[in-house]
Chain A
Amino acid sequence: MKLTRRTILAAVSTAALLAQPLMATAQDLPRNIRMVIGSTSTGGDTYQNSAIVADALSEKLGVNIKVDAVGAVAGFKALARDKRGTTIMMFHDFAYLAELYGGKGFVNPFENYIVGATVATNPGNAFLVPKNSPYQTMTDILDAAANGEKVRVAIQPGGVSELGFSAMKNAANVNKPGSGENIVAVNTGSQSDKNQAMWDGLADVINGSIQSNEQFTQLPEDDQKAMRFVWITASPETLNGAPEAGMGKMTRDDMLKYAAPETHVPLNASEDFTFDKEFFFIYNKDMDPAIIDKIDTALSEIYADGAIQDRQTEAFFIPNFRPSAQAREHLIEKRTTYGDVISEISG
Chain B
Amino acid sequence: MDMFEFLSPLFVLLTIGGTLVGIIFGAIPGMTATMAVAVCLPVTYSLGLENGLALLLGLYVGGISGGLVPAILLGIPGTPSSITTTLDGYPMAKQGHGEKALRIGIIASLVGGLISLVILDLFAPALADFAIRFSYVEKFLIILFALSVMAALSSDLLLGIFSGFLGIFISLIGTYDVTKGGNGEWRLIPPGTEYWLESGFSLLPVLIGLFGLAAILDEAQTGALPGMSQKDIKIGQSERFSLRIFKGQTVNLIRSSCIGTFVGILPGVGGSAASILSYSNAKTFSKNPENFGKGEPAGIMASEAGNNGLTGGALVPLLSLGIPGDSATALLIGAFTLQGVQVGPLFIANNPVTWDAMIIAMLIANLAMFVLMYFAIRYFAMVVTVPKHILFPVILMMCVIGAYTINYGIMFDVWTLLIFGIFGWMMSKLRLEVAPFIIGFILGPSAEVYFVKTLESFGDVSIFFTKSPIAVVLWLLIVGSIGGSIWLHRSASKHRDA
A158: nearest residue on chain B (CB-CB)?
B178
Residue in B179, B198, B449 whose beta carbon sits within 8 Å of that of A40 in the complex: B179
What is the chain A residue whose CB lies nearest that of B176?
A: A104
Which chain B positions have C-beta within 8 A of A159?
Answer: 178
Contacting residues, chain B, for A186 (C-beta < 8 A): 457
Write the nearest CB–CB distance from B457 to chain A, whole angstroms: 5
The residues in A between 22 and 48 inclusive whose CB is less than 8 angstroms from any CB of B are 34, 36, 40-44, 47-48
Considering the complex, give the chain A residue whose CB is closest to the CB of B132: A199
Query: Within 8 Å CB of A190, what residues of B?
Result: 179-180
Instruction: Assess whether B338 is in contact with A104, with CB atoms less than 8 Å apart.
Output: no
**Cα(A192)–Cα(B180), bound, Å:** 10
| Residues of chain A within 8 A of B337, CB atoms compared | 42-44, 47-48, 315
Q: How far is the CB of A161 from chain B (nearest CB, A)?
A: 9
B178, A156: Cβ atoms under 8 Å?
Answer: yes
Residues of chain A within 8 A (CB-CB) of B135 are 196, 200, 202
Q: What chain A residues lie within 8 Å of B331 (beta carbons)?
A: 42-43
Instruction: Provide the residues of chain B in CB contact with A212, threshold 8 Å.
Output: 322, 344
CA distance A68 to B199 in the complex (A): 17
Comparing B143-151, B181-189, B222-230, the segment that makes contact with chain A is: B181-189
- Collect the chain B residues with CB atoms within 8 Å of residue A136's CB: none
Query: How far is A50 from B259 in the complex, measured between Cα atoms in Å?
Result: 38
Known contacts A216-B345, A314-B340: does B334 contact A42 (CB below 8 Å)?
Answer: yes
B175 — which chain A residues lie within 8 A by C-beta? Answer: 73, 104-105
Complex CA–CA separation, A36 to B408 (angstroms): 10
Collect the chain B residues with CB atoms within 8 Å of residue A218's CB.
Answer: 345-346
Residue A235 CB within 8 A of the other chain: no
A74 at interface by CB-CB < 8 Å: yes
Chain A residues 69 to 111 lying within 8 A of chain B, measured CB to CB, are: 69-70, 73-74, 77-78, 103-105
Task: Give CA–CA (A36, B410) in the complex, Å.
Answer: 13
- Chain B interface residue count, Cβ-Cβ cutoff 8 angstroms: 52
A178 on interface, CB distance cutoff 8 Å: no
Contact B324 A103 (CB under 8 A): no
Say yes or no: A43-B457 contact (C-beta < 8 A), given A188-B181, A224-B132.
Answer: no
Docked Cα-Cα span, A44 to B136, in Å, equals: 24
B330 within 8 A of A: yes
Please tell me if the beta carbons of B183 and A187 are within 8 angstroms of each other in the complex: yes
CA distance A87 to B85 in the complex (A): 39
Contact (A42, B345) CB under 8 Å given A74-B199, A157-B184: no
CA A191 – CA B182 in complex, angstroms?
14
Give the chain A neighbours of B340 by CB distance below 8 A: 314-316
The answer, yes or no, to whether B336 is at the interface (CB within 8 Å) is yes
Given contacts A158-B184, A215-B322, contact A189 B179 (CB under 8 A): yes
How far is it, in angstroms, between the C-alpha of A159 and the C-alpha of B184 when the chains are bound?
12
Shortest CB-to-CB span from B134 to chain A, Å, is 9
CB closest chain-B residue, reference A105: B198
Say if the beta carbon of A214 comes within 8 Å of chain B: yes
Does the CB pair B345–A214 fall under 8 Å?
no
The stretch of B37-45, B380-388, B471-479 in contact with A is B37-45
Residues of A within 8 A of B323 (CB): 191-192, 195
| Chain A hits for B338, CB < 8 A | 48, 51
Given A191-B323, A192-B267, A225-B132, CB of A214 within 8 Å of CB of B342:
yes
Residues of chain A touching chain B, judged by Cβ–Cβ distance below 8 Å, are 34, 36, 40-44, 47-48, 51, 55, 66-70, 73-74, 77-78, 103-105, 156-159, 186-193, 195-197, 199-200, 202, 211-216, 218-219, 224-225, 247-248, 314-316
B binding-site residues for A, Cβ under 8 Å = 38, 41-42, 45, 129, 132, 135-136, 175, 177-186, 194-195, 198-199, 267-268, 317, 321-324, 330-334, 336-338, 340, 342, 344-347, 407-410, 449, 453, 456-457
